[in-house]
Amino acid sequence: MDNFKHFNISTDHENICWAEIDVKGKSVNVLTQEVMTDLANIIDWLEKNTKITGFSLTSGKPGGFIYGADIAEFELYKTKHDVRSHMEFVHGLFNRIENLHVPTAVGIDGIAVGGGLEIALTFDYIITTSSNKTKLGFPEVNLGILPGYGGSGRAYGRIGTAAVAEMMVSGKPLIAEAAKNIGLIDQIVNGADDIKPAIKSWLEAQNQKKPERGQRETKADQGALEVCREKFLRKVRVEHTPAPFAIIDHVKKHGHSSVAMSAGEMDVFPDLMVGSASKNLRRVYYLTDKVRKTARGDSKIQKLHVVGAGVMGGDIAAVAAMSGLNVSLSDVNSSAIESAINRSANLFARRLKIDEKIAAATERLKADPGGDHAANADLVIEAVAEKLSVKQAVFADLEKIIKPGAILATNTSAIPLEDIATALNDPSRLIGLHFFNPVPVLPLVEVIWSIHSNQDLVSSGMQFAGQIGKMPIRCKSSPGFLVNRALLPYMFGAIEAVVSGENPEKIDQAMVDFGMPMGPIELSDQVGLDVCLDVGTVLGIAPGAEKLLKSKCSDKTLGRKTGSGFYEWSDNRAVRSREPLEPKLSDDISRRMLAPMVDECKKAVQEGVVDSSDDADAGMIFGTGFPSFRGGPINWAN
């Protein structure tokens, strides 16, 4: 048998053919066109070989099976015809694996998602390890598509309507035990070394006969589909992200036959693939990968000290402790430290779940009222009041006690680092690490550098962000950096429109119709109108908006926190009409409202505040909730 570039092939004394996928030039296995061609040649050989008694597929890369298709190659398919032609080739190939004349088994240790799960489902018997790193799933919905290699029907045949619909619509992977419980896989073994013996035992027991597997259901369970629709689609709009709606319709239409469901993918997938939502979601996938790569490397930060135990400082400390760092937390108010520690306990319980992990994280987070641990910290983050004089005083004191090589960082949301650094003898040690509230939820960290900053420390800041699971965007020090520079003119522009007589409810609804999590007026109430005014004073604000905000601050109607602002608030929810607007009106309002945001993003690129339009779009998506299916403000505007 010929040698293959991406597979290692051997045949044992019992004439079982063992194939190991080991994609050359890739750190993980993905189904590129080259890999598919290799696989087709292997199947050609198997179909002609009458001596083979069984066929097995495993991975030659430890700790991972197949991560799906090569997403980068999706861009080769420009038209629906291109997409369908590729699908027809792969469907034909996977059908041939399914119809081989000998029993087949696949062994999975690690990730098997997307096309990786779809190829596994073509085998008669699926074995996985019990490792908590073994995950099986259909994440395609996150790219605005559905499984496209026959996986929907093959999974439906094994697990039925409710389970397959939830897997595809949620995009969430299953651990091995959960997959076994619903019938997606057949056997679990302890570790990777147990896979091949288990495969061999099963294949030999079949005595060269393929097992028969019936279809679990003979028609789609309509009740289960409605449950799935209610659970996942209640707040989703088909005009924004059509894929989850198409998935439910697909299962409903083809529930009579798993074979028809697999084939039916070719009627749905191409339209989704070439649609704007999928194109933009794929763009966000590439942006996410790009940002994560900037966070790779060893920050050499193991000990963190946080000054300021308010909501931001306390949550930064908790997230860092949860990520494995030893953290100390100081504040002039000891009750603030106590509150932060109590909040962290809830976060640890919610995220870590296992008692030992919760206890370890709790042990790593220390109350430090006197700030004594700052002297031994590798990184000190200041998260005190957004007042220049206060921050300067904190850093002047810290510089006297920190160890050589330690990094000083400010969590300022808008104050230029050059202004803060005037309090330091060595301003090169100061960088910005601007987190976003709520810190445990929002992934963005703006890593700020000034004309004084040591770039090695800036790189360490990027790596630190990755170390604690965040997405860093590198920004030059300037008022508002990226996100606040672009977000606040959008908010103030909307307030100015209200001053001019526009209906705030229509403005907010238009932006929700566009895909924003909430509109700019409601967001102002959420942030606090006093905070908006304070930041506007630093960054600039139109006179009409400033006058209205001053009036509301004078009346103590500050938004959600006082129960009244632009809206009345009940149970932490703004009381306003939420009826969708007529599309033309909604589109007109959203374009006008977003113009200042787009303009500031473009200026930030032109002025070198961020390195590229990609970084600007990524920052606004990860930091403000700008809808992923729009691809970012600049991408949308273009």
Closest Cα to residue 504, out of 469, 530, 482, 529?
Answer: 529
Rounded to the nearest angstrom, the gap between the alpha carbon of residue 331 and the centroid of all alpha carbons in its chain is 33
Give the C-alpha distances (Å, rounded to integers) separating 472 from 323, 376, 450, 609: 16, 25, 16, 14
For the four alpha carbons of 54, 59, 65 and 69, in that order, the dihedral sign comes to negative
- Helix 483-499 to helix 504-514 angle (10° resolution) is 140
Place of tokens 């009346």: 555
434 annotated active-site: yes
Closest Cα to residue 519, out of 580, 563, 428?
Answer: 580
Q: Is-contact 168 147, C-beta < 8 A?
A: yes
In 328-438, which ranges are continuous DSSP H helix? 334-352, 355-364, 388-401, 417-420
Measured in residues, the chain has a length of: 638
* Catalytic entry in 484, 524, 613, 635: 484
88 annotated active-site: no
Helix (H, G, I), strand (E, B) or coil at 237: coil
Closest Cα to residue 541, out of 482, 496, 593, 604?
Answer: 496
250 annotated active-site: no
Helix (H, G, I), strand (E, B) or coil at 573: strand
Place of tokens 């994440």: 139
For the four alpha carbons of 625, 629, 632 and 636, in that order, the dihedral sign comes to negative
CA 17 – CA 97 distance, rounded (Å): 13
Q: What type of residue sits at position 602?
A: K
Q: Which helix (H) or strand (E) element contains residue 614? A: helix 613-624
Q: Which helix (H) or strand (E) element contains residue 226? A: helix 222-232
In 310-382, which ranges are continuous DSSP H helix? 311-322, 334-352, 355-364
Which string of b and e fits 268-285 if b means at least 16 CB within 10 Å? bbbebbbbebbbbbbbbb
Place of tokens 């099986």: 136
Tokens of 490: 């959008």
446 annotated active-site: yes
* Catalytic entry in 262, 344, 413, 586: 413
Helix (H, G, I), strand (E, B) or coil at 593: helix
Q: Is-contact 236 244, C-beta < 8 A?
A: yes
Q: Is-contact 119 42, C-beta < 8 A?
A: no
CA 259 – CA 255 distance, rounded (Å): 10
For residue 427, give the DSSP letter: G
* Catalytic entry in 326, 373, 434, 496: 434
* Catalytic entry in 399, 446, 496, 546: 446
Catalytic site residues?
A: 413, 434, 446, 484
